[in-house]
Amino acid sequence: MKILHIIRSCDPKAGGPIEGVTQLSKCYKELGHQLSVVTLDLDDADFVKNQTLFEVFALGSGKKSTYGYSKKLIPWLTLHCHEYDVIVINGIWQYHSFAAHRVLIKAKKPYYIFTHGMLDPWFKRAYPLKHLKKYLYWWWGEYPVLRDAKQVLFTCEEEKIQARESFWPYRCQEQVVSYGTAGCIGDQDLQKQLFLETYPQLQGKRYLLFLSRIHPKKGVDLLIEAFSKVYSAADDTILVIAGPDQVGMQSNLTQLAERLGVAEKIVWPGMLSGDLKWGAYLNADAFVLPSHQENFGIVVAEALSANVPVLISNKVNIWREIVEDNAGLVANDDLVGCESLLSQWQHIDDVAKDNMRVNARVCFKNRYEITKASSFLLGLFEG
């Protein structure tokens, strides 16, 4: 099959959606299928020019806009959409989904769409004015995209349920699909060594790892405050906060850490990838993600694959599976909940922690390993 994914950006800094596409492309290729990607990136972007896993058609206009308008997208899709057996739209609220719907309906070409958590009601509560603007757009812009899709794909049951609560009218063909990642690959001993050599201040230290975009919805401020309350100056545990600072939060967060007296106990590596990223996971005592909203959490699956227990909020939509498999701890996405996560972990004995590490890997293999996800999706597309 020839499969086309339409997505706002293939920049790795954009987070989980493009990582999911990347992982699926590897599996599709091994099974003899071809995946191509249309994006609204500029064609001279390094991450476009250096992409070797799949063909990228970058049609960006160069204008700085989160909406991502491009006059090239509709003509390109009109000319090429019939060349593909399957078309998947990734994400909503941006020009690529609106334009794709406009072309594909006219061409009578069926399509699937991943909402990637963008219908979560948390956004309605957190940004009420923005939600009102979205409501005006919903009627004529985004609702038809979902209504007319062959299937709207959700990465877990919780995401599907939550999506029903944000906008009205809401009618679509819902489908929960398997989703995941390839997990920890490579020489783990070398990866662990590389990370500690790169960040020697972590040698011989126990650390908690946050690895995700630094964004208001991720609860990083809660994490720093909870860390300051649970881990005293006498405790040598370190907090590693790794990820791209997309909205300029880090300076405020470092000031918060200074006010709370824990600035010396926090390491900020920035965005990690490849062996450095896996080394960060493999050396971690636990992974922490106190998000206010997370439709799936590729980084949670990655941590599980590296035998790392996950300490997450109950707004990470796969939290029920984590509890069921005893692969980590779950609490509310507030300061009390975040403190509870860290305090519980601090007081768990080593035997229980080791058992949870084993459970983490089993949870990953049974639920989130990418070959199962790709087989599920291919079966859906071929059905």
The pLDDT, as a whole number, for residue 159 is: 87
Residue 36 belongs to a domain: yes
**Same domain? 202 vs 154:** no
Q: Indicate the pTM of the whole model.
A: 0.85
Residue 219's domain spans which residues? 188-368
Residue 376 belongs to a domain: no
Residue 146 belongs to a domain: yes
**Same domain? 299 vs 248:** yes
**Same domain? 43 vs 169:** yes
| Over residues 118-132, mean pLDDT | 80
> How many domains would you assign to the chain?
2
| Over residues 175-195, mean pLDDT | 91
**Same domain? 81 vs 194:** no
The pLDDT, as a whole number, for residue 62 is: 62
Per-residue pLDDT tens for 33-70?
A: 999 999 999 988 899 998 888 999 999 876 666 788 89
Place of tokens 């989160």: 66
Lowest mean pLDDT among 145-154, 155-164, 344-353: 155-164
The pLDDT, as a whole number, for residue 294 is: 87
**Same domain? 116 vs 223:** no
Mean pLDDT of the chain: 92
| Over residues 211-240, mean pLDDT | 92
Per-residue pLDDT tens for 351-368?
A: 999 999 999 999 999 999
**Same domain? 194 vs 330:** yes
